[in-house]
């Protein structure tokens, strides 16, 4: 099962039930599911193809975790980065894994600013909780994106070029 299948199953069993909690706010399965559809569509609109890596730089946050569901919905691969790492270490990880998009919480804006120049492969930057100068807020980035169901098939396996397999 894909990660997103668990969310969809929860929504099917009780869409009004709490799915994610942040402080005093509960997000229902239906709310998380609809936002994951929008994020999946937003990634597709931004040119992020199934199999591309997307990172999320945030402490525990309901919206950040909803982004994980959204990138799963888009068939992207989650590249977790640790906000406790040094900026240089996270920059190395993001570059080494060819991350194409980075969602981040504004608390980590200084770290993202430090890393940004060294991340030429990252095409999309989104600040999940507000505009970040060079990065739109999640709300801005999702402007005009509907929450209709979307089904993007993930890649079934990692494709290894023929010459890398030791064949001539």
* pLDDT tens digits for range 4-61: 899 999 999 999 999 999 888 899 999 999 999 999 999 999 999 999 999 999 999 9
- The pLDDT, as a whole number, for residue 152 is 83
Instruction: Convert the pLDDT of each residue in 55-111 to its tens digit.
Output: 999 999 999 999 999 999 999 999 989 999 999 999 999 999 999 999 999 999 999
Neighbours of 148 (CB within 10 A): 9
Rounded distance between C-alpha atoms, residue 81 and residue 58, angstroms:
8
Rounded distance between C-alpha atoms, residue 159 and residue 101, angstroms:
20
CB 74 within 8 A of CB 48: yes
DSSP 8-state assignment for residue 155:
P
Instruction: Convert the pLDDT of each residue in 125-163 to its tens digit.
Output: 999 999 878 999 999 999 999 999 988 877 765 444 444
Q: At the topology level of CATH, where does 3-19+28-145 sit? A: Rossmann fold (3.40.50)
């Amino acid at each position: 099962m894909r990660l997103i299948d668990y969310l969809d199953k929860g929504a099917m069993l009780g869409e009004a039930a709490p799915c994610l909690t942040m402080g005093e706010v509960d997000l229902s399965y239906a709310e998380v599911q609809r936002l994951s559809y929008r994020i999946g569509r937003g990634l597709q609109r931004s040119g992020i193809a199934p199999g591309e890596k997307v990172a999320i730089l945030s402490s525990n946050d309901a919206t950040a975790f909803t982004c994980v569901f959204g990138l799963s919905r888009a068939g992207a691969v989650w590249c977790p980065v640790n906000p406790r790492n040094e900026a240089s270490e996270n920059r190395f990880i993001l570059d080494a894994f060819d991350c194409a998009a980075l969602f981040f919480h504004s608390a980590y804006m200084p770290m993202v600013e430090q890393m940004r120049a060294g991340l030429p492969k990252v095409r999309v930057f989104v600040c999940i909780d507000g505009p970040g100068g060079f990065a739109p807020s999640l709300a801005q980035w999702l402007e005009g994106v509907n929450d209709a169901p979307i089904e993007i098939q993930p890649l079934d396996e990692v494709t290894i070029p023929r010459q890398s397999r030791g064949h001539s």
